[in-house]
Amino acid sequence: MAGEIKCNNCGLDNKPGAILCEVCSEPLEVTVGASVPIIASSSAAHTPASAVGIIGRACGLVVGGNVIDREFELPKDDFGFTIGRTDLDQGIIPDVDLTKFAEKVKIGQDVGYTVSRKQAIIIRRMGRLYLRAIGGAKTMIKPQNTDWKELLKDQEEEILVGSRFRFGGSEGYVIFEVV
Amino acid sequence: MQVELTLGQRYLPITDEAEVIFLLRLLRDSQKQSADLALDLRKILDRSGSMDEPADGGLTRIQALKAAVNESLSLLRQGKDRLCIVVFDDTMKVILDPTIVGDINAIKKLIDGVRTGGSTNLSNPLRYTLEDVKPMDGSLPKIIIFTDGNVNAPSAAAEERACLELARQANRLGIPFAVFGTGIDYNEKFLKNMAEVAGHGSYFEHVKQVGAMRLRLEDEMENLKSVQDLDVRIGITAEPVVEILEAFKYVPQQLALPVSGKIVKDEFPGLDVRGQAYLIKTKVHAGKAVGDFKIATIALSWQGVAGAGVKSMNVVVNFTADEKLISPVDKTVRNTVLNTEGTKATLSGQYNRAQTLFTTSGNTGMAKKVETLAKSDEDAKRTLRTVTVTEANKGIIGKKGAK
């Protein structure tokens, strides 16, 4: 029948629309794409994602003012990811691990790190990408053609091609640029 | 409130039967202020003998808990929020009657004075916070429970029954629980069940390091302060030829919702910065229908700052003979299905399957957590279960869940 999806694991023909096999529960190989959500809102009209600037695909590591490497891919779907420092004791393994860039610093009587375990999150919402600070350590962002500014905890800023962000303090930091 | 519906596939081939999956997301309206209600926190803290065991940072569990509670007090708004603290072993002691927060240092002294004691009776303090603490008008109540042991006084079975009955009472009153357990001696299934019975956005979390309670309490308060629309109710009703196979919600944690006939219902006290998300899986007996085909009706109601809100949406797909029109499967819906199954696999100890599902969805961070923590001890496995139900689908909500 048209549209049935054969399971590569058990061979069952699954119904159109299925994502997991009805019998063996294995993921089915389906054509995947992004659809346009239906928005019902009582607020101002929604601006389509296509109307706002160019969304980046990856973040490059910046050294000496130049992008030297494609460090990590930006999310292509609505599954955002965390940026921070690994702490296995607390079960924290960020999607973008900055442990190698984190340095110990003295904060008053205590010892802290220049990168939080959960420093920031990149999320995709309504087709746009945002960087949100979620940790205590400093997160700086430089949207294209503007100055650096600090993102305070729970503040977020849209990121486009050319946006740069910096994690860490003056003792040690890392900069990424959206490419 | 902004409501967003995403269909797994909008256009499907003409067929007798199809599976239609949709994702419904509720988000705060970025143009509006928070409701700015007072918080009414009722904390129930374990001081049984086992709280003398070593915790992180060279402290005992009780010392670490006291420090965490004390440090989180600064987020309460003086003259506005209300706090009540009860400690318990086999007896209970109210160390702070329900009080509008004023002198933080005086509260800290009361917390510092807590000493550890005997065995564990949770039902008496729970009954006190539900029955003796009077409601506070225009506030968001929450009962926060922290324990490290099995409820066992006078007996485990009687005490569990009593606590579950009180959780049902909390459900009727609309007062949610945040339940935290540490160590490996407490009954995880019981505490989780208690949170599920209390409903209204209640949740259970395992805490590996007692000191991390500070972050959890702070997240809890920040989330409550960000609440915008109140008393949110949702009903999803399937059409006669549609069966609802499964329904899940994701804030504060992944939870399977009961399906009653053709209806799924949910309600929670307020929409906070995380928003809310639902995944609904249906089987449609389409009978080779052609064209637009209604699957279900979504009805929403809430109390906003500017008055009551009501919204209704139809879930409609289209069956077409034109192969070029057939939609690809929406990536977010597919990944939500895979992550939801991955979470279920983790909870049932099928770690290899969980890793495969998370990897297939591109959720490599979660796959790595399963790989790392599943090999470790029971404490780590409890952490993994909490992390998975809270974070596996973090991308579909407005903000990562409490941590």
B395–A40 C-beta distance less than 8 A: no
Calculate the CA B311 to chain-centre distance. Answer: 24
3-state secondary structure string across B7-59: ECCCEEECCCEEEEEEEEEEECCCCCCCCCCEEEEEEEEECCHHHHCECHHHC
Give the whole-number percent of chain A exceeding pLDDT 70: 82
Residue A12 lies in a domain: no
How far is B124 from chain A, CA to nearest CA, in Å? 32
Q: Is the pLDDT of residue A62 over 90?
A: no
Average pLDDT of the residues of chain A = 78
Q: Which residue has the tokens 């009077």?
A: B134
CA distance B207 to B183: 8
CA distance A163 to A158: 9
B360–A20 C-beta distance less than 8 A: no
Compare CB distances from A81 to B30, B283, B365 and report the shortest one's residue: B365
B3–A39 C-beta distance less than 8 A: yes
Residue A140 lies in a domain: yes
Q: Which residue has the tokens 């089915």?
A: A28
Domains B2-33+228-326 and B38-225 share a fold: no
CA distance B384 to B22: 27
A41–B331 C-beta distance less than 8 A: no
Compare CB distances from A17 to B3, B21, B386 and report the shortest one's residue: B21
Top residue of A14, A90, A124 to mutate, by most chain B CBs within 10 Å, is A90
CB A117 within 8 A of CB A84: yes
Give B102-125 as a DSSP string. --HHHHHHHHHT----S----HHH
CATH for A144: 2.60.200.20
How far is A76 from chain B, CA to nearest CA, in Å? 9
CATH of domain B2-33+228-326: 2.60.40.3670
H/E run at residue A168: strand A164-169
H/E run at residue B204: strand B203-207
CA distance B350 to A67: 42
Q: Is B283 helix (H, G, I), strand (E, B) or coil?
A: strand
Read off φ and ψ for residue B302, nearest 5 degrees: -160, 165
Q: For chain B, which residues score pLDDT lower than 50?
A: 400-403
How far is A77 from chain B, CA to nearest CA, in Å? 6
Q: What counts of helices (H) and strands (E) characterise chain A?
A: 0, 17
Give A136's contacts (C-beta < 8 A, 6+ positions apart): A116, A153
A40–B15 C-beta distance less than 8 A: no
Compare CB distances from A79 to B21, B360, B362 and report the shortest one's residue: B362
How far is B395 from chain A, CA to nearest CA, in Å? 4
Give per-residue pLDDT as tens, B298-323: 999 998 877 788 888 999 999 999 98
Give B290's contacts (C-beta < 8 A, 6+ positions apart): B14, B319, B320, B321
pLDDT of the residue at A125: 72
- Confidence tier at A42 by pLDDT (50, 70, 90): very low
B21–A31 C-beta distance less than 8 A: no
Compare CB distances from B395 to A3, A123, A154 and report the shortest one's residue: A123
CATH of domain B38-225: 3.40.50.410
Q: Residue B317 has which token pair?
A: 């797909």
pLDDT of the residue at A50: 34
Residue A17 lies in a domain: no
pLDDT of the residue at A47: 34
- Radius of gyration (Cα) for chain A, nearest Å? 21
Q: Is A109 helix (H, G, I), strand (E, B) or coil?
A: coil
Domain count, chain A: 1
CB B284 within 8 A of CB B17: yes
Residue A96 lies in a domain: yes
A81–B395 C-beta distance less than 8 A: yes
Q: Is the pLDDT of residue A54 over 70?
A: no
CA distance B114 to B130: 22
Q: Is the pLDDT of residue A48 over 70?
A: no
Averaged pLDDT for residues A135-163: 84
Residue in B187, B126, B119, B189 with CA at minimum distance from that of residue B154? B119
- Confidence tier at A41 by pLDDT (50, 70, 90): very low
A82–B6 C-beta distance less than 8 A: no
Give per-residue pLDDT as tens, A87-125: 877 777 888 888 877 877 776 777 778 888 888 988 877
- Confidence tier at A126 by pLDDT (50, 70, 90): low
Q: Residue B264 has which token pair?
A: 């799924």
CB B165 within 8 A of CB B197: no
pLDDT of the residue at A78: 65
Q: Is B390 helix (H, G, I), strand (E, B) or coil?
A: helix
| ipTM for the predicted complex | 0.83
pLDDT of the residue at A156: 86
Q: Is B290 helix (H, G, I), strand (E, B) or coil?
A: coil
A123–B337 C-beta distance less than 8 A: no
Which residue in A has a C-alpha nearest to residue B400's C-alpha? Answer: A121
pLDDT of the residue at A55: 66
B372–A35 C-beta distance less than 8 A: no
| Other CB atoms within 10 Å distance of the CB of residue B355 | 21
A91–B9 C-beta distance less than 8 A: no
CB B120 within 8 A of CB B90: yes
* Residues across chain A: 179
A35–B7 C-beta distance less than 8 A: yes
| Other CB atoms within 10 Å distance of the CB of residue B161 | 12
Question: Which residues of chain B make contact with A8, given a CB cutoff of 8 A?
Answer: none
Question: Which residues of chain B make contact with A126, given a CB cutoff of 8 A?
Answer: 4
Question: Which residues of chain A make contact with B384, given a CB cutoff of 8 A?
Answer: 91
How far is B130 from chain A, CA to nearest CA, in Å? 32
Q: What counts of helices (H) and strands (E) characterise chain B?
A: 10, 18
A43–B31 C-beta distance less than 8 A: yes
A63-77, A149-163, B226-240: which is most confident? B226-240
CA distance B159 to B146: 16
Compare CB distances from B309 to A32, A42, A77 and report the shortest one's residue: A42
DSSP letter (8 states) at residue A27:
B
Is residue B30 classed exposed, middle or buried when 0-12, 13-18 and 19+ CB atoms within 10 A define those classes? exposed
- Confidence tier at A52 by pLDDT (50, 70, 90): very low
Domain interval for residue A117: 53-178
Q: Could you give the residue ranges of the DSSP H alpha helices within chain A?
A: none
B365–A95 C-beta distance less than 8 A: yes
A41–B357 C-beta distance less than 8 A: no
- As a whole number of Å, the end-to-end CA separation of chain B is 25
Q: What does the CA dihedral B300, B303, B309, B315 come to, rounded to 10 degrees?
A: -10
Which residue in B has a C-alpha nearest to residue A41's C-alpha? Answer: B2
How far is B144 from chain A, CA to nearest CA, in Å? 21
pLDDT of the residue at B360: 94
Q: Is B358 helix (H, G, I), strand (E, B) or coil?
A: helix
CA distance B360 to B245: 23
Which residue in B has a C-alpha nearest to residue A122's C-alpha? Answer: B395
Q: Is B67 helix (H, G, I), strand (E, B) or coil?
A: helix
Segments making up each domain of chain B, as ranges: 2-33+228-326, 38-225, 332-396
